[in-house]
A and B are shown apart, each in its own frame.
Chain A
Amino acid sequence: MDFYAMSYCNPYFYQDWRMFAPGTRYNYSIYAVYEVNGQKHYSFPIQEVLSDRNIFSGREFLNTSLTDASIFVHNTAVNVSGELYKFNKDKYYQIFEHINIQYLQKKHDSKIKNLKLMLCATHIQTKKKTYLVNE
């Protein structure tokens, strides 16, 4: 089924991005640590975007980008031990990282440095948490 669905979508979405919003069993949180002008900052991009989200503020666009990218990197993550996973450094991770960088740079209207990302996926029914980190 997936083959036929993707064949139908492929002409438009060269990057293999899903045409239909992927189904979900998780709530996602991104924890970002980074530096702006030499000062350390913390941010929670998804939760920040979800507050006061509406189509006119552009937050629906950001919400779709951040959560869809989270779903992709979660699905391709590599298990380290127990609930700890490592990001697979593939195309989806590059997209995920890029969205976060752009969001944070817009937030501070400045370049950011030394970004570290952690993704927490909470299963909606069991409440079990899975953590995805870089190293």
Chain B
Amino acid sequence: MNKVVTYFFDEYRKQRNARLFKNLLYVFLVVKCLLWLFNFDILFGEYAVSLTYNEPIGFFKSFAYIIYLSKSSNLALWFICTTLLLSLVSLFGKRSYVLADLIIYLLVLNLDIRIYTTTTAGESLLVNLCFLSAWLRKDFNKGIGTYDQIKVLLHNTAFIALILQVCVLYGFSALAKWYDADWISGEAVYLTTKAEHYSRPFMVNIADPIHFLTVAVTYILLLYQSLFPLLVWIKKIKPYFLLIGVLMHLYIAFVLGLFFFGLIMVITYVLFFDFKTHADVKA
């Protein structure tokens, strides 16, 4: 029991991971805001592709449907610009601003719901990460007051929650794949490679000659995702294990075309990386 209390209250854990993760998340949000602005007309403007309905949403959920219900493109523009501004300020600021982070979370949630037909798993994950990372700190000045203790507790709890979020994501994803006939038969990667909308012309053309390779990759991916929550903690293999994951997600981002999902997953790997401490460097 004492160990648990010490872990949560004693000091800010994983400081370098937390700072780097938060900064990368802000960079990601800046890129996302710019892409939203570049493609504003098809996402939020005159030619918005996501159809909206006037169904009753309910009081609590309506906070996530502000743009969706208003159908106002000006409001969407305000939301994007505010997200961009807050992300830039938070990126270059040395302190952490919980309120700013929570506002970013709410704005991103609203923006993603308005463009639901264009979204992938990346957007859902981003929203969750925005909420959880709001409680992480970038500044680690530890006082002795109750408020300081709460900040330490929230930081350490949020860090564990973020780790669990990634493990849960892989767990759910792997479980769904074990129930899917295409994954069990080893054909899933082949089918995805041959699907024009999840592939590139050169990949579609070479899928048949490398069929045996796609079967092997299917099973490797299945095992990777299934074992991720366990193997990611084994220090000796961790760097190689994470490297495989990064390559996999870069492939998903740039070949499959699930750009935001691929990149946000790469960013989450920062949470698992073991940075060398001063003691390690001396040794």
Interface residues of A (CB under 8 A from B): 1, 4-5, 8-9, 11-15, 17, 19-21, 23-28, 46, 50, 53, 55-56, 58, 60-65, 67-69, 91, 94-95, 98-99, 102-103, 105-106, 124-125
Contacts and interface: CB of A to CB of B under 8 A. Distances in A.
A54 to B, nearest CB: 9
Interface of B: 35, 38-39, 41-43, 46-51, 53, 55, 57, 61, 64-65, 109, 112-113, 115-121, 124, 127, 172-173, 175-176, 179-180, 182, 187-188, 191-192, 194-198, 257-259
Given A24-B197, A50-B196, 7 more contacts: A13-B116, A27-B194, A62-B42, A64-B119, A95-B51, A95-B117, A106-B42
Contacts of B192: 23-24
Contact of B176 (A5, A62, A91): A5
Instruction: Please classify the interface of chain A as helix (H, G, I), strand (E, B), loop, or mixed, using the class held by over half of its residues.
Output: helix
A60 B253 CA distance: 11
Contacts of A14: 55, 57, 61, 65, 113
A55 B117 CA distance: 15
Contacts of B121: 19-21
A25 B198 CA distance: 11
Given A64-B117, A65-B118, A58 B48 contact: no
Contact of B117 (A17, A20, A53, A58): A17
A66 to B, nearest CB: 8
A24 B257 contact: no
A127 to B, nearest CB: 11
Given A27-B196, A106-B42, A99 B117 contact: yes
A94 B53 CA distance: 11
Instruction: Please classify the interface of chain B as helix (H, G, I), strand (E, B), loop, or mixed, using the class held by over half of its residues.
Output: helix
A55 B261 CA distance: 13
Nearest to A100: B49
A65 B176 contact: no
Nearest to A24: B195
Contacts of A67: 197
Nearest to B65: A14
B35 A56 contact: yes
A69 B48 CA distance: 15
Contacts of A103: 42, 47, 49
A65 B195 CA distance: 15
A81 B120 CA distance: 34
Contact of B191 (A50, A63, A106, A124): A124
Given A20-B173, A64-B120, A11 B61 contact: yes
B64 A12 contact: yes
Nearest to B182: A23
B116 A17 contact: yes
Contacts of A12: 64, 109, 112-113, 124, 127
Nearest to B256: A21
Given A61-B39, A98-B51, A102-B47, A1 B179 contact: yes
